[in-house]
């Protein structure tokens, strides 16, 4: 090991003349010459003077946008001689209550069937929660309530829901929860065959709610219901979305648009608008959703003729 040189024998360090750049650069131990009254000219005041030769801190990584709950590209569906979808594209945001609105026959139910993986398609890609539609991994993450009620009429309300709860590996507490959620606690022991049409719809909805799915797809769930019950169910849908679930609810009743976070308005197998209610009214200059939709139809028809 080399012995250190005694201080008395160290050679004095030769001072170099300052360069132009160093002459203009203040020492980090000195006051900043560009400051006046504690502020930097043209800049916000900083509590500490930092070395201007130091490397700038790395920019924070951008926050990735949330993946859509549903992503559809180039969907092709033909039913008989009718081409329902011909290169259909759509993204549905996660954690939102999306209303799928449009007249009967515009393709709403076919779109819903494609999303839940029960519709035969001729082409395109349908991804749901990051997986192909109908994938086995989605079995307990996606719930579907069709227009036709899938209820056993010879069983009670409670027994119907308990049967599907066992398939979904849910217990009795979950059965009671969904029965109360759809307002059927008073009919829990009643045979389903004696229920009204609206009550049967609620049994189907309760089955769909089992297990708290990540994506809930409801095909016209409020058809045949009285106004009070319709309002109650839309409040339930809103609470589910606030809790993080994604909901797609189809309807041909335009006043239900006010209950939705986002709107997808369809006509003849095409999306004529994807917006919010406020955006729809602003775009069309109309006072309500029904008139706004009619205005979109008028514009769409005029555009197709030109």
For 246, the 3-state DSSP assignment is: strand
**Rounded distance between C-alpha atoms, residue 7 and residue 166, angstroms:** 87
Per-residue confidence band for 230, with pLDDT thresholds at 50, 70 and 90: confident
Average pLDDT for the chain: 83
Which pLDDT does position 138 carry in this prediction?
96
Which pLDDT does position 186 carry in this prediction?
96
Average of per-residue pLDDT across 283-299? 93
**Rounded distance between C-alpha atoms, residue 126 and residue 114, angstroms:** 7
Is pTM, for the whole model, over 0.95?
Answer: no
Per-residue confidence band for 41, with pLDDT thresholds at 50, 70 and 90: very low
Which pLDDT does position 282 carry in this prediction?
96
Per-residue confidence band for 65, with pLDDT thresholds at 50, 70 and 90: low
Please list, in sequence order, all residues whose beta carbon lies within 8 angstroms of the beta carbon of residue 10, skipping any fewer than 6 positions away: none
Which pLDDT does position 252 carry in this prediction?
82
Q: Are 104 and 254 in contact (CB under 8 A)?
A: no
Listing from the earlier edge strand, what are the strands of the sheet with 215-219? 142-145, 215-219, 246-251, 97-101, 262-267, 270-275
Strand partners of residue 262: 98
Average of per-residue pLDDT across 137-162? 93
**Rounded distance between C-alpha atoms, residue 20 and residue 286, angstroms:** 67
């Amino acid at each position: 090991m080399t012995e250190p040189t005694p201080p008395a024998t160290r050679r004095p360090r030769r001072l170099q003349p300052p360069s132009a750049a160093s002459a203009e650069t203040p020492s980090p131990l000195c006051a900043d010459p560009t400051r006046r009254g504690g502020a930097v000219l043209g800049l916000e005041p900083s509590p500490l003077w930092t070395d201007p030769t130091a490397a700038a801190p790395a920019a924070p990584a951008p926050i990735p946008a949330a993946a859509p709950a549903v992503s559809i590209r180039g969907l092709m569906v033909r039913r008989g001689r009718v081409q329902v979808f011909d290169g259909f594209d759509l993204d549905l945001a996660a954690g939102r209550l999306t209303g799928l609105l449009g007249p009967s026959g515009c393709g709403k139910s076919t779109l819903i069937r494609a999303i839940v993986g029960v519709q035969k398609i001729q082409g395109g890609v349908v991804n749901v929660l990051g997986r192909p539609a109908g994938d086995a991994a989605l079995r307990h993450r996606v719930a579907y309530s069709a227009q036709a009620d899938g209820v056993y009429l010879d069983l009670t309300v409670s027994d119907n829901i308990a049967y599907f709860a066992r398939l979904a590996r849910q217990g009795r507490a979950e059965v009671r929860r969904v029965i109360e959620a759809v307002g059927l606690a008073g009919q829990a022991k009643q045979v389903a065959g004696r229920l009204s049409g609206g009550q049967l719809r609620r049994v189907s909805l309760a089955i769909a709610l089992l297990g708290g799915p990540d994506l809930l797809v409801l095909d016209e769930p409020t058809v045949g219901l009285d106004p009070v019950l319709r309002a109650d169910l839309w409040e339930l849908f809103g609470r589910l979305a606030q809790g993080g679930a994604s909901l797609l609810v189809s309807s041909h009743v335009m006043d239900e648009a006010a209950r939705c976070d986002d709107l997808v308005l369809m006509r003849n197998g095409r999306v004529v608008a994807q917006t919010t209610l406020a955006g729809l009214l602003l775009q069309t200059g109309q006072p309500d959703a029904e008139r706004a939709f009619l205005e979109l139809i008028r514009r769409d028809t005029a555009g197709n003729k030109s």
